[in-house]
Amino acid sequence: MIQPRQRILSILAVTTLALGLTACNRNDEQTAGQRLDSAVSRTEQAASNAEQRTEQAASNAGARIEQGAARVGDATSNAANNVMDAAGEATTTAEIKAALVKDPELSALQINVDTKGGTVTLNGTAPSDTAKARAEEIAKGVKGVASVNNLLTVQAR
C-alpha cells in the first residue's frame, strides 16, 4: 500500500514531467526553463494544498474520535448506573423478604416481592386481612421504598 506522502510525491513527479513536456511543445515567448519553473511552482502549490487538506481531514477525524469516545463514556456511565439501580432494588427486595420471614403469621414463601424504582409490589397470599396489612407495613418500613402496591389475596378459610 502506498503511503500518502509517497503518493503525493509520485503525483508531483508525474505532474512536473507532464507539464515540462507540454511546455516543450509550446511556441510562446517563455523559454523551456521558465515554463518548467512555472510548472514546478504550480506543482508545489498543488502539493501544499493537498497537504493542507490532509491535515484538515486528520483534524476532523480526531474530533470525530473524541466525540465517539465521549458517547462511549456516557454509555458506560449509564450502564453502571443501571447496574447500581438493579443492585439497590435487589437489596430492597431481600430486606423485605427477610422481614417477612421473621413474622410468624406471614409466609415469605407465599409472598412474591418485586422492587422497581422504589415501588414494591407484593403478590401471593396472606392468611388474613391483618396479615396482608402487616406485610404492606413491613415493606413500607424498608429504606428506599417509596410506595407499595399490595396485590396480596386473603386465603379463604
- CB neighbour class for 122 (10 Å; exposed up to 12, middle 13-18, buried from 19): buried
**pLDDT of 54-112, one tens digit each?**
778 777 777 777 777 777 767 666 666 665 666 677 788 888 888 888 888 887 778 88
144: left (phi over 0), alpha (psi -120 to 50) or beta: left
The CATH code of the domain at 85-154 is 3.30.300.130
pTM of the model: 0.49
pLDDT of residue 131: 87
How far out from the chain centre does Cα 125 lie?
A: 44
**pLDDT of 41-55, one tens digit each?**
787 787 777 778 877
Quick check: 20 pLDDT over 70?
no
